[in-house]
Amino acid sequence: MSKRLLLLNAGVVTMNAQRHQYNDGAVLIADDRIVKIGPSRELVNEIDGETEPIDLRGHWILPGLINTHVHTSQQLGRGLADDVDLLTWLHKRVWPYESNLSEEDSYVSTLLCGIEQIRSGVTCFAEAGGQFVNSMGRGVAELGLRGILTRSTMDMGEGLPSQWQEDTNAVLDVQIANYDRWHGKANGRIRVWFGLRTIFNNSDELIVRTKKLADSYGAGIHMHVAELREENEFAQATRGAATVTHLDKLGVLDKNFLAVHSVWLTEDEIQLFAKRNVKVSHNPAAATRVLGFAKIPEMIDAGICVALGTDGAPTSNRMTLIDDMWLASLIHKGRLLDPMVMPAEQILAMVTCDGAKALLWEDEIGSLEVGKKADLVVVNPNTATMLPMHDPIANLVYAMREHNVESVMCNGRWLMRDHKILTVNEAEVLKEAVQRAKAISQRAGIEIPNRFNILD
């Protein structure tokens, strides 16, 4: 008989369909799965010589959080592109940075990003696409996280760095090779999807062939959609319709399509997303900084599955999903002058059960239920920033910070215990990340002007 783990005496937010919550609950884990969940007074009887009990009095247990849009390979570019216009951001900072990244840089970037994910309670994320899926795969396998990997995929576009100029066949072949190498690896924690960067960088032929491939592999498609107002103008001028309307004409909008940002949608296009069962990844920090306010409450009302994401470090700086939960809850209240929109229970669903649906993984993750994978977060609310707990669900969204995330488990294995990262050497990763970040920026010739008069 294998060793079992019994988490006892905690508040347990299951996020199951009935939204069951135990104020004094317990979760029994065997190997990588949850085998029992219920009141502590019942599960305490499960303690035997093969079961390790862990008393979590005063703590809360949540399903592992799901970040549906991250650029792990941009992590070493944090701080390279703040307070600049979009063209400077893209052509002078982020493209030079990303096109000068080596495979090993991308690996260290994934580790750094992964540590920030774990520290903020994330157990699963969807990578939006750097170049080196092998590096990301290595990183995710070592970190112990769960992840969907996607290669940044472009077959056209003005001003692209020369090493990114590839034809349609080549970019599809690389993705098939990535799929064959990584899908299902790391005990099933890694999955591979197909990527489309944006309509600016993807031909119609690529979009159509990607849809066919994703369907034949049973995979999803991850694409930035209608993120900028200029994007719709571009699509209108070059393809004859705004992005979403055009994508629908190409037949790509479907239940396995994850549309990121989706800020500039008309009412009709929102209805189209709902009809086609398209999933949306809302990234409130990126939206607030540069894109605009997506009509998220309206999308949820239309029945669209909306999840949350952090985007990349040069866009939103904080890869801490907890901060995006807080921001998502606030910005729509402000936009609509309605404090009742985007309530805490909605936000919590976006980072758990709805996040799992968006990633087509709801059969195994997204809620704490018998038979599901043991992906969970232990929250310690006993800090000046989170007490008192009059309304626990509200506090978990509006007051929880990164320092309240005490322990994190993925696939039945602790990735962090009592704030200590257990899977990789955090101090070494930090040191190497700083050295590599400096070298990349020098190699790329990126100049960041001083903001103050430096005296030394």
Three-state secondary structure call for residue 47: coil
| Cβ–Cβ < 8 Å for 379, 60 | yes
How many residues sit close enough to Zn ion to count as binding (CB under 5 A)?
A: 2
Give me the least distance between CB of 147 and Zn ion, in Å please: 15
Give me the least distance between CB of 129 and Zn ion, in Å please: 8
Choose between 292 and 392: whose C-beta lies nearer to Zn ion. 292
Separation between Cα atoms, residue 113 and residue 119, nearest integer Å: 10
Choose between 29 and 128: whose C-beta lies nearer to Zn ion. 128
> Which range of residues in 118-126, 202-210, 311-319, 430-438 is near Zn ion by CB under 5 A?
311-319
Choose between 293 and 414: whose C-beta lies nearer to Zn ion. 293
> Which range of residues in 119-127, 243-251, 307-315, 344-352 is near Zn ion by CB under 5 A?
307-315
Separation between Cα atoms, residue 316 and residue 116, nearest integer Å: 13
Strands (E), 220-362: 221-225, 257-261, 279-282, 305-308
> Which range of residues in 10-18, 287-295, 306-314, 424-432 is near Zn ion by CB under 5 A?
306-314
Q: Tell me the helix, strand and coil percentages in the chain, rounded to 5.
A: 40, 20, 35
Choose between 128 and 400: whose C-beta lies nearer to Zn ion. 128
Q: What is the CA radius of gyration of the chain?
A: 22
3-class SS string, 129-158: CECCHHHHHHHHHHHCCEEEECECCCCCCC
Choose between 94 and 207: whose C-beta lies nearer to Zn ion. 94
Comparing C-alpha atoms, which of 248, 237, 153, 159 is closest to residue 203? 153
Choose between 128 and 396: whose C-beta lies nearer to Zn ion. 128
> Which range of residues in 53-61, 145-153, 288-296, 310-318 is near Zn ion by CB under 5 A?
310-318
Give me the least distance between CB of 346 and Zn ion, in Å please: 23
**Which residues contact residue 406 at a Cβ distance below 8 angstroms, ignoring those fewer than 6 apart?**
59, 378, 379, 380, 416, 418, 419
Dihedral sign for Cα 179, 185, 186, 192, please: positive
User: Tokens standing for 52?
Assistant: 């390790």
Tell me which residue has its CB nearest to Zn ion. Answer: 128
The reply to whether 214 sits near Zn ion by the rule CB under 5 A is no
Separation between Cα atoms, residue 375 and residue 22, nearest integer Å: 18
Give me the least distance between CB of 72 and Zn ion, in Å please: 11
Centre a 10 Å sphere on the Cβ of residue 213 and count the other Cβ atoms it contains. 16
Mask of contacts with Zn ion, 156-175, x by CB under 5 A?
A: --------------------
Mask of contacts with Zn ion, 127-146, x by CB under 5 A?
A: -x------------------
Give me the least distance between CB of 312 and Zn ion, in Å please: 6
Choose between 128 and 148: whose C-beta lies nearer to Zn ion. 128
Q: Of 360-419, which residues contact Zn ion (CB under 5 A)?
A: none
Q: Of 93-132, which residues contact Zn ion (CB under 5 A)?
A: 128
Give me the least distance between CB of 281 and Zn ion, in Å please: 9
Strands (E), 226-327: 257-261, 279-282, 305-308
Give me the least distance between CB of 70 and Zn ion, in Å please: 8
Helix (H) or strand (E) holding 53: strand 51-55
Give me the least distance between CB of 169 and Zn ion, in Å please: 25
> Which range of residues in 294-302, 304-312, 416-424, 429-437 is near Zn ion by CB under 5 A?
304-312
Choose between 29 and 291: whose C-beta lies nearer to Zn ion. 291
Choose between 311 and 406: whose C-beta lies nearer to Zn ion. 311
User: Tokens standing for 352?
Assistant: 């758990």
> Which range of residues in 18-26, 101-109, 303-311, 350-358 is near Zn ion by CB under 5 A?
303-311
| Cβ–Cβ < 8 Å for 432, 107 | no
Comparing C-alpha atoms, which of 142, 120, 123 is closest to residue 419? 120
Choose between 101 and 374: whose C-beta lies nearer to Zn ion. 101
Residues that bind Zn ion (CB under 5 A): 128, 311
